[in-house]
Protein backbone atom coordinates (compact mmCIF):
# COMPACT_ATOMS: atom_id res chain seq x y z
CA UNK A 1 0.00 0.00 0.00
CA UNK A 2 1.24 3.49 -0.89
CA UNK A 3 2.37 5.73 1.94
CA UNK A 4 -0.11 8.40 0.81
CA UNK A 5 -2.95 5.95 1.31
CA UNK A 6 -1.58 5.01 4.70
CA UNK A 7 -1.54 8.70 5.62
CA UNK A 8 -5.21 8.95 4.73
CA UNK A 9 -5.93 5.88 6.85
CA UNK A 10 -3.91 7.48 9.60
CA UNK A 11 -6.07 10.60 9.49
CA UNK A 12 -9.25 8.57 9.63
CA UNK A 13 -7.99 6.39 12.46
CA UNK A 14 -6.75 9.36 14.49
CA UNK A 15 -10.10 11.11 14.09
CA UNK A 16 -11.89 7.96 15.24
CA UNK A 17 -9.51 7.55 18.17
CA UNK A 18 -10.03 11.14 19.31
CA UNK A 19 -13.79 10.71 19.08
CA UNK A 20 -13.73 7.51 21.13
CA UNK A 21 -11.59 9.03 23.85
CA UNK A 22 -13.63 12.21 23.90
CA UNK A 23 -16.98 10.47 24.16
CA UNK A 24 -15.64 8.25 26.92
CA UNK A 25 -13.89 11.18 28.63
CA UNK A 26 -10.96 8.80 28.90
CA UNK A 27 -7.17 9.02 28.96
CA UNK A 28 -4.34 7.09 27.24
CA UNK A 29 -4.64 9.28 24.14
CA UNK A 30 -0.91 9.96 23.93
CA UNK A 31 0.09 6.27 23.86
CA UNK A 32 -2.47 5.45 21.15
CA UNK A 33 -1.27 8.30 18.92
CA UNK A 34 2.34 7.39 19.59
CA UNK A 35 2.03 3.89 18.08
CA UNK A 36 -0.72 4.58 15.55
CA UNK A 37 1.59 4.51 12.53
CA UNK A 38 3.25 1.35 13.85
CA UNK A 39 -0.13 -0.38 14.12
CA UNK A 40 -1.35 0.87 10.73
CA UNK A 41 1.88 -0.19 9.08
CA UNK A 42 1.49 -3.67 10.52
CA UNK A 43 -2.22 -4.19 9.89
CA UNK A 44 -2.55 -2.49 6.49
CA UNK A 45 0.80 -3.11 4.91
CA UNK A 46 2.83 -5.83 6.56
CA UNK A 47 0.70 -8.54 8.10
CA UNK A 48 -0.67 -11.42 6.09
CA UNK A 49 -3.97 -12.91 7.30
CA UNK A 50 -2.17 -15.63 9.25
CA UNK A 51 0.22 -13.25 11.00
CA UNK A 52 -0.26 -12.30 14.65
CA UNK A 53 0.17 -9.03 16.51
CA UNK A 54 0.47 -8.74 20.28
CA UNK A 55 0.11 -5.24 21.67
CA UNK A 56 2.20 -5.49 24.81
CA UNK A 57 1.51 -1.84 25.63
CA UNK A 58 -2.14 -2.61 26.25
CA UNK A 59 -2.88 0.95 27.32
CA UNK A 60 -2.89 1.87 23.61
CA UNK A 61 -5.96 -0.33 23.20
CA UNK A 62 -8.02 2.34 21.46
CA UNK A 63 -5.35 2.62 18.79
CA UNK A 64 -5.51 -1.14 18.33
CA UNK A 65 -9.33 -1.36 18.36
CA UNK A 66 -9.55 1.39 15.77
CA UNK A 67 -6.96 -0.12 13.46
CA UNK A 68 -8.59 -3.55 13.76
CA UNK A 69 -11.98 -2.04 12.91
CA UNK A 70 -10.63 -0.05 9.95
CA UNK A 71 -8.77 -3.09 8.62
CA UNK A 72 -11.79 -5.39 8.79
CA UNK A 73 -10.71 -7.39 11.81
CA UNK A 74 -13.35 -6.01 14.18
CA UNK A 75 -16.91 -4.85 13.60
CA UNK A 76 -16.63 -1.02 13.45
CA UNK A 77 -19.99 -0.72 15.23
CA UNK A 78 -18.47 -2.38 18.26
CA UNK A 79 -16.21 0.64 18.71
CA UNK A 80 -19.29 2.51 19.95
CA UNK A 81 -19.34 0.25 23.01
CA UNK A 82 -15.80 1.26 24.05
CA UNK A 83 -15.49 2.12 27.77
CA UNK A 84 -19.20 1.46 28.39
CA UNK A 85 -20.61 -1.04 30.87
CA UNK A 86 -20.93 -4.45 29.27
CA UNK A 87 -18.38 -3.80 26.52
CA UNK A 88 -15.74 -6.20 25.23
CA UNK A 89 -13.58 -3.16 24.55
CA UNK A 90 -12.32 -1.91 27.90
CA UNK A 91 -9.45 0.50 28.35
CA UNK A 92 -7.10 -2.46 27.91
CA UNK A 93 -7.52 -5.35 25.44
CA UNK A 94 -9.81 -8.18 26.56
CA UNK A 95 -8.65 -11.53 27.97
CA UNK A 96 -11.76 -13.33 26.69
CA UNK A 97 -10.20 -14.78 23.50
CA UNK A 98 -13.39 -13.80 21.65
CA UNK A 99 -11.72 -11.49 19.15
CA UNK A 100 -9.35 -13.53 16.96
CA UNK A 101 -7.15 -10.52 16.22
CA UNK A 102 -6.55 -10.11 19.96
CA UNK A 103 -5.16 -13.49 21.04
CA UNK A 104 -4.15 -12.15 24.44
CA UNK A 105 -5.40 -9.42 26.69
CA UNK A 106 -2.64 -7.16 27.93
CA UNK A 107 -2.34 -4.17 30.22
CA UNK A 108 0.25 -5.21 32.76
CA UNK A 109 3.55 -4.45 31.10
CA UNK A 110 6.17 -7.05 30.38
CA UNK A 111 3.92 -9.89 29.20
CA UNK A 112 3.65 -9.31 25.46
CA UNK A 113 7.07 -10.39 24.29
CA UNK A 114 6.95 -13.72 26.14
CA UNK A 115 3.50 -14.42 24.70
CA UNK A 116 4.67 -13.49 21.21
CA UNK A 117 7.81 -15.61 21.62
CA UNK A 118 5.66 -18.56 22.70
CA UNK A 119 3.48 -18.22 19.62
CA UNK A 120 6.55 -17.88 17.40
CA UNK A 121 8.35 -20.80 19.07
CA UNK A 122 5.24 -23.02 18.59
CA UNK A 123 5.90 -23.13 14.88
CA UNK A 124 8.83 -25.46 15.57
CA UNK A 125 6.24 -28.04 16.59
CA UNK A 126 3.12 -27.17 14.62
CA UNK A 127 4.84 -26.66 11.28
CA UNK A 128 2.83 -23.51 10.69
CA UNK A 129 4.54 -20.52 9.18
CA UNK A 130 3.67 -16.94 9.97
CA UNK A 131 5.21 -13.84 11.45
CA UNK A 132 4.53 -12.69 15.01
CA UNK A 133 4.73 -8.98 15.76
CA UNK A 134 4.96 -7.53 19.23
CA UNK A 135 4.62 -3.82 20.00
CA UNK A 136 6.45 -2.73 23.15
CA UNK A 137 6.60 0.55 25.02
CA UNK A 138 9.40 2.23 26.95
CA UNK A 139 7.74 0.96 30.11
CA UNK A 140 7.73 -2.59 28.73
CA UNK A 141 11.49 -2.28 28.42
CA UNK A 142 11.73 -1.61 32.17
CA UNK A 143 10.27 -5.03 32.91
CA UNK A 144 12.69 -7.87 33.59
CA UNK A 145 10.35 -10.34 31.95
CA UNK A 146 10.74 -8.50 28.63
CA UNK A 147 14.46 -9.16 28.74
CA UNK A 148 13.92 -12.78 29.77
CA UNK A 149 11.84 -13.13 26.62
CA UNK A 150 14.47 -11.31 24.55
CA UNK A 151 17.13 -13.73 25.81
CA UNK A 152 14.92 -16.66 24.84
CA UNK A 153 14.07 -15.26 21.40
CA UNK A 154 17.72 -14.55 20.64
CA UNK A 155 18.94 -17.90 21.92
CA UNK A 156 16.34 -19.83 19.92
CA UNK A 157 16.80 -17.65 16.82
CA UNK A 158 13.11 -16.88 16.43
CA UNK A 159 13.31 -15.42 12.95
CA UNK A 160 9.51 -15.35 12.78
CA UNK A 161 9.36 -12.78 15.58
CA UNK A 162 9.47 -9.03 15.05
CA UNK A 163 9.55 -6.64 17.98
CA UNK A 164 8.57 -3.03 17.40
CA UNK A 165 9.55 -0.73 20.24
CA UNK A 166 7.38 2.36 20.39
CA UNK A 167 10.23 4.37 21.88
CA UNK A 168 8.64 7.73 22.60
CA UNK A 169 10.96 8.48 25.50
CA UNK A 170 8.18 8.88 28.05
CA UNK A 171 6.69 6.45 30.52
CA UNK A 172 4.22 6.35 33.40
CA UNK A 173 5.63 9.03 35.65
CA UNK A 174 8.55 10.62 33.92
CA UNK A 175 10.91 10.71 30.99
CA UNK A 176 12.54 7.34 30.33
CA UNK A 177 16.01 8.87 30.48
CA UNK A 178 15.26 10.18 33.99
CA UNK A 179 13.36 7.16 35.33
CA UNK A 180 15.53 4.28 34.21
CA UNK A 181 17.54 5.03 31.09
CA UNK A 182 17.29 2.44 28.32
CA UNK A 183 20.00 3.77 26.06
CA UNK A 184 21.80 2.57 24.12
CA UNK A 185 18.61 0.70 23.23
CA UNK A 186 19.79 -0.35 19.79
CA UNK A 187 22.89 -2.01 21.22
CA UNK A 188 20.86 -3.68 23.94
CA UNK A 189 18.55 -5.45 21.52
CA UNK A 190 21.44 -6.27 19.21
CA UNK A 191 23.40 -7.81 22.07
CA UNK A 192 20.38 -9.97 22.90
CA UNK A 193 20.65 -11.48 19.43
CA UNK A 194 18.22 -9.36 17.42
CA UNK A 195 18.59 -7.90 13.97
CA UNK A 196 18.00 -4.25 14.85
CA UNK A 197 16.93 -1.33 12.69
CA UNK A 198 15.99 2.15 13.84
CA UNK A 199 13.12 4.13 12.38
CA UNK A 200 14.45 7.57 13.11
CA UNK A 201 11.02 9.09 12.60
CA UNK A 202 8.84 6.32 13.95
CA UNK A 203 5.65 8.17 13.07
CA UNK A 204 6.63 8.35 9.41
CA UNK A 205 5.47 5.40 7.30
CA UNK A 206 8.43 5.53 4.94
CA UNK A 207 10.87 5.28 7.85
CA UNK A 208 8.99 2.38 9.42
CA UNK A 209 8.85 0.57 6.11
CA UNK A 210 12.55 1.04 5.42
CA UNK A 211 13.46 -0.25 8.89
CA UNK A 212 11.20 -3.30 8.58
CA UNK A 213 12.53 -4.13 5.14
CA UNK A 214 16.15 -3.78 6.18
CA UNK A 215 15.63 -5.88 9.32
CA UNK A 216 13.72 -8.58 7.45
CA UNK A 217 16.37 -8.73 4.76
CA UNK A 218 19.19 -9.02 7.28
CA UNK A 219 17.28 -11.58 9.38
CA UNK A 220 16.90 -13.85 6.36
CA UNK A 221 20.66 -14.24 6.33
CA UNK A 222 21.36 -14.10 10.05
CA UNK A 223 18.40 -16.19 11.32
CA UNK A 224 17.79 -13.68 14.06
CA UNK A 225 14.60 -12.22 15.45
CA UNK A 226 13.99 -8.66 14.36
CA UNK A 227 13.67 -5.50 16.39
CA UNK A 228 12.50 -2.18 15.02
CA UNK A 229 13.19 0.72 17.33
CA UNK A 230 10.67 3.34 16.30
CA UNK A 231 11.65 6.74 17.68
CA UNK A 232 8.15 8.08 18.10
CA UNK A 233 6.39 11.09 19.58
CA UNK A 234 3.89 10.57 22.33
CA UNK A 235 0.60 12.25 21.35
CA UNK A 236 1.84 12.55 17.79
CA UNK A 237 -0.18 14.87 15.54
CA UNK A 238 -1.78 16.94 18.29
CA UNK A 239 0.48 19.88 19.09
CA UNK A 240 -0.44 20.35 22.74
CA UNK A 241 -0.09 16.61 23.44
CA UNK A 242 3.21 15.94 21.73
CA UNK A 243 5.98 14.81 24.08
CA UNK A 244 3.85 15.59 27.14
CA UNK A 245 3.71 12.90 29.79
CA UNK A 246 0.37 14.13 31.13
CA UNK A 247 -1.33 13.02 27.91
CA UNK A 248 -0.74 9.49 29.04
CA UNK A 249 -3.62 10.14 31.42
CA UNK A 250 -5.68 13.22 30.64
CA UNK A 251 -9.03 13.28 28.88
CA UNK A 252 -9.73 16.15 26.46
CA UNK A 253 -12.01 19.11 27.13
CA UNK A 254 -14.42 20.06 24.33
CA UNK A 255 -12.09 22.84 23.16
CA UNK A 256 -9.09 20.55 23.23
CA UNK A 257 -11.01 17.91 21.31
CA UNK A 258 -11.99 20.36 18.57
CA UNK A 259 -8.41 21.54 18.21
CA UNK A 260 -7.11 17.96 18.12
CA UNK A 261 -9.56 17.00 15.37
CA UNK A 262 -8.66 20.09 13.32
CA UNK A 263 -4.95 19.39 13.60
CA UNK A 264 -5.47 15.71 12.78
CA UNK A 265 -7.48 16.44 9.66
CA UNK A 266 -4.88 18.96 8.50
CA UNK A 267 -2.08 16.45 9.22
CA UNK A 268 -0.05 15.60 6.12
Positions that interact with another protein (CB under 8 A):
95, 97, 103-105, 108, 110-111, 114-126, 128, 144-145, 148-149, 151-152, 155
Give the span between the Cα atoms of 110 and 100, in whole angstroms: 22
Residue 115 or 252: the one with the smaller Cβ distance to another protein is 115
Question: Which alpha helices (DSSP H) does the chain contain, by range?
Answer: 3-24, 29-34, 36-40, 61-70, 112-126, 144-155, 176-179, 185-191, 205-222, 254-266
Q: What is the 3-state secondary structure (H, E, C) of 165-229?
A: EEECCEECCEEHHHHCCCCCHHHHHHHCCCEEEEECCCCCHHHHHHHHHHHHHHHHHHCCCEEEE
Between 76 and 100, whose beta carbon lies closer to another protein? 100
Q: Which residues contact 58 (CB under 8 A, 6 or more apart)?
A: 92, 93, 105, 106, 107, 108, 112
CB of 14 to another protein, least distance (A): 30
Residue whose CB is less far from another protein, 22 or 111 = 111
**Do 247 and 30 contact (CB within 8 A), yes or no?**
yes
- When the beta carbons of 126 and 255 are compared against another protein, the nearer one is 126
CB of 140 to another protein, least distance (A): 13
Q: Strand, coil or helix: what is 138? A: coil
**Comparison of 155 and 200: residue with beta carbon closer to another protein:** 155
Least distance from C-beta 225 to another protein, angstroms?
14
Asked if residue 153 lies in contact with residue 191, where contact means CB atoms within 8 angstroms, the answer is: no
Please, what is the minimum distance in Å from the beta carbon of residue 258 to another protein? 38
Nearer to another protein among residue 20 and residue 158 (C-beta)? 158
Q: How far is the CB of 36 from another protein (least distance, A)?
A: 25
- Comparing CB distances to another protein, the nearer of 79 and 116 is 116
Least Å distance, CB 137 to another protein, is: 17
- The Cα–Cα gap between 204 and 219 comes to 23
Q: What is the largest CA-CA distance in the chain?
A: 54
What are the backbone angles phi and psi of residue 164, rounded to the nearest 5°? -120, 115
- What's the min distance (Å) between Cβ of 162 and another protein? 15
Alpha carbon distance 83, 72 (integer Å): 21
Amino acid sequence: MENSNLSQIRRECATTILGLYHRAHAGHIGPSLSCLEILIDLHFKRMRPEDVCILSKGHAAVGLYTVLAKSGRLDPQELDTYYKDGTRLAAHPPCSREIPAIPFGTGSLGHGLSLAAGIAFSQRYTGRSFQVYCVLSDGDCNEGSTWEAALFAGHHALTNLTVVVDANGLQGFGATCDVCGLEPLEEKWRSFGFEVQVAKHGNVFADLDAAHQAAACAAQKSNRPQCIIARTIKGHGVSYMENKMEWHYLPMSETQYQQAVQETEAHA
